[in-house]
Amino acid sequence: MNKEYLNKIILGDCLNHIPNLKDSSIDLFLSDIPYGINLDEWDVLHQNTNSALLGESPAQKGKSGFKRRGKPINGWAQSDRNIGLEYQEWCESWAKGVYPKMKDGAFLFVFGARRTLHRVINAFEDSGFLLKDTLAWKKSSAHHRAQRISIVLKRRGLIDDAKKWEGWRLGNLAPIWEPIAWFMKPYKIGGTITDNVLKNEVGAINTDANQIQGTSPTNLLEFGFRKNEERIHEAQKPLDLIEYLIKLTTQENQIILDPFMGSGTTALAAKLLKRQFLGFELNPEYHSLSLKRLGDTNPKAKEDMKPVFQHSLFEKKEATSSSASQKISQP
């Protein structure tokens, strides 16, 4: 039943295709899902029509990307309060369909936003999965997007107030890390996890083969983009990071599902590591770009893309990053 989908990125809504997948056939779910934080049109997963969303208010017109993320202009209305719940319901709408397709004991890695991850966790737990841990991916750099109060006040001609608030900002700290929710599909009652590993070949982690500087991996992951790694999506994740998660939890020829392919990094990593993949992408532009990226791979391509930043907890050397790796700040 998976044959028509195997090692393909299908253009279309995953909700229409997931039911067609074979039950208990997926070894790993790995996806950087939409975060529900209004990053772009594809990330609006609620019914709120607040004019602050996606930079449609007069104050946001023509501004840079972070101005478009949308915050209530005149307080916190009921429709604003519903955004989180509607995002959770959206996550659950497809997570419930994923559940029967996973093997018993299989792992799921779900990238999320810091302020909406709890909604993802609720949706997956309500769909039957167990939360094992929350991993943290530490990025090589992060733009500090907090506006200086003094600048705002100077524009208003409030010079004394500007001096008083010098050094203060409106916003958050630099977003240097992103969470990854790590789930597991429960295995059948009556056996042990070891019994399940022997039966389904999932549910274990290969720590010896994925050591960092000779030390067992932790739940803090520090990976950056390779020197010549192509960047085609504003929420794209480093190939090294995705490869690491795949090598940690799967063996060659096992099947990985990513229903929100985006830039196609999961498919590319799976191909390079001799795993099978199933993927879906709703956006025609990203679908086309991901197919091109996947088709451009060759045995030498991986060798050509040297890691420019792969800092670890155990490495003292100061890391460097290319200008390309600084152009896109993850949500």
**pLDDT range class, residue 295, cuts 50, 70, 90:** confident
More confident residue, 203 or 211: 203
In the chain, the percentage of residues whose pLDDT exceeds 70 is: 76
pLDDT in tens, 59-96: 545 554 444 444 554 555 666 777 888 889 999 999 99
pLDDT in tens, 126-147: 999 999 999 999 998 887 778 8
Residue 69: its pLDDT value, please?
Answer: 47
> Considering the entire predicted model, what is its pTM?
0.80
Q: Which helix (H) or strand (E) holds 88?
A: helix 78-98
Residue 228: its pLDDT value, please?
Answer: 86
More confident residue, 321 or 248: 248
Q: Is 7 left (phi over 0), alpha (psi -120 to 50) or beta?
A: left
Domains, in order of start, for the chain: 8-141+176-326 (3.40.50.150)
User: Is 330 in contact with 69 (CB distance < 8 Å)?
Assistant: no
Mean pLDDT for the chain overall = 81
Residue 300: its pLDDT value, please?
Answer: 38
Q: What does the alpha-carbon distance between residue 321 and residue 176 come to, in Å, rounded to a whole number?
A: 14
Q: Which residue has the tokens 């969470």?
A: 179
Measure Cα distances from 26 to 13, 106, 186, 200, 319 in Å: 19, 8, 14, 10, 37
Q: What does the alpha-carbon distance between residue 251 and residue 253 come to, in Å, rounded to a whole number?
A: 6
**Tokens encoding 294:** 């996947």
**Tokens encoding 157:** 């001609």
Residue 73: its pLDDT value, please?
Answer: 47
pLDDT in tens, 155-198: 999 999 999 999 999 888 888 999 999 999 999 888 899 999 99
- Helices 239-249/265-272 angle, 10° precision: 60
- Over residues 105-118, the mean pLDDT reads 95
Residue 92: its pLDDT value, please?
Answer: 96
